[in-house]
Amino acid sequence: MMQLLGAASAAAAGGWALLAPGRGNAYYSGPVSDHFDGTLFFNPGGVKPKGQLAILRWQLTDRGMAWPDAYPSPFQPDRPPARFDGAGARITHVGHASFLIQTRGRNILIDPVWAERASPLSFLGPRRVNTPGIGLDALPQIDVILVTHNHYDHMDMATLATLWRRFRPRILTPLGNDTILRHSIAGLEAQALDWDAHVDLAGEVRVHVEPTLHWSARGTSDRRHALWASFVLETGGHSIYCVGDSGFGDGTTFRRVRQRHPRLHLALLPIGAYEPRWIMRNNHMTPEEALDALLLCGAERALGHHWGTFRLTNEAVDEPPQRLAAALTRGGLAPQRFVAVRPGQVEILN
């Protein structure tokens, strides 16, 4: 979630103009649907994020647990192969919500962020406390980038500009985010997709766009002007559910994914940035809710991310994996069923 930290709240959107409230949608124009009212996107069930005054009250009054200046990963930065041609997938956690998925000869980045801060400002906002799990210069040729939504900890313009100049990847993102990317990065091309759309990639890889419970903004006047989503990758005989950010709600979105994709092999689920609950409940899941999400979506196992890299909310840096481990124990589930991953950690999906 984008943090409105002091001056960061006034430095909207990476430098290009946003429409003022009441003047329509800055990024997207399209037909009314069950999640777009003609101006703003909205969640299943109409659940909305807290308003600006609530965010400001939280920021000024409730700072939570302090984080260390450094929280290094126990894993060395990965040096991925040029391609992974095995039957499954090779998955590297870069940090926070960023992953490299290598499958069927394709290299796919999810929400790539190599920035030092998850912020519109270089000198203020949540600062990285561990190095990325892959050096930017160690990346193989990137074929596809999936961007789930436009918050600064998921859509980093400097990283995306570097990747675009170097690799010219295919970029897939929910409706409206393509406008932000094109206006921010000269020459960039991005394909905008609605919920329930799918795209076929080379190598027998298909990308499905799935609803998720969240919101969007790059500044103070563009809330919900762009859509947010999760993705399901079908790769050969495997399916990977990639969730960047999501609240749990009543679990409907996870049940829906199970109905549409009944044989999920792996879920990438966020387990951090959840306190205080009075403001984060509809935005981010607790570790316990993430475990419920795993069971509802039906994936064989999960990797827990969105913790331990950027201090976005009030919980301690190491609280999410501790709570996840306790929830697995209470549920009688093996620790390997849901692993809280660290930068540089590599998982092989067979």
Calculate mean pLDDT across residues 21-25: 67
47 or 171, which is more confident: 171
Q: For residue 21, what pLDDT is reported? A: 41
Mean pLDDT, the chain, integer: 92
Q: Is residue 61 part of a domain?
A: no
Q: Is residue 71 part of a domain?
A: no
pLDDT in tens, 274-285: 999 999 999 999
Residue type, 286: T
Q: Is residue 166 part of a domain?
A: yes
pLDDT at 15 over 50: no
130 or 55, which is more confident: 130
Distance (Å, whole) CA 123 – CA 194: 35
Q: Which domain holds residue 328?
A: 83-349
Q: Is residue 11 part of a domain?
A: no
Distance (Å, whole) CA 277 – CA 270: 15
CATH (domain of 314): 3.60.15.10
Distance (Å, whole) CA 56 – CA 74: 35
Q: Is residue 55 part of a domain?
A: no
Q: Is residue 327 part of a domain?
A: yes
Q: Is residue 41 part of a domain?
A: no
Beta bridge partners of 206: 200, 234
Please, which residues have CB within 8 angstroms of residue 194's CB and are 6 or more apart in sequence?
33, 174, 175, 209, 227
Beta bridge partners of 131: none
Q: Give the lowest-confidence range in 6-10, 56-60, 198-202.
A: 6-10
Distance (Å, whole) CA 111 – CA 162: 14
Q: For residue 68, what pLDDT is reported? A: 97
% of the chain exceeding 70 in pLDDT = 93
Distance (Å, whole) CA 231 – CA 146: 8
Q: Is residue 332 part of a domain?
A: yes
Distance (Å, whole) CA 50 – CA 271: 20
Q: For residue 46, what pLDDT is reported? A: 80
Q: Which burial class, exposed, middle or buried, applies to 131 when counting CB atoms under 10 A from its CB (0-12, 13-18, 19+)?
A: middle
Q: For residue 67, what pLDDT is reported? A: 97
pLDDT at 107 over 70: yes
Calculate mean pLDDT across residues 154-173: 98
Q: How many domains does the chain have?
A: 1
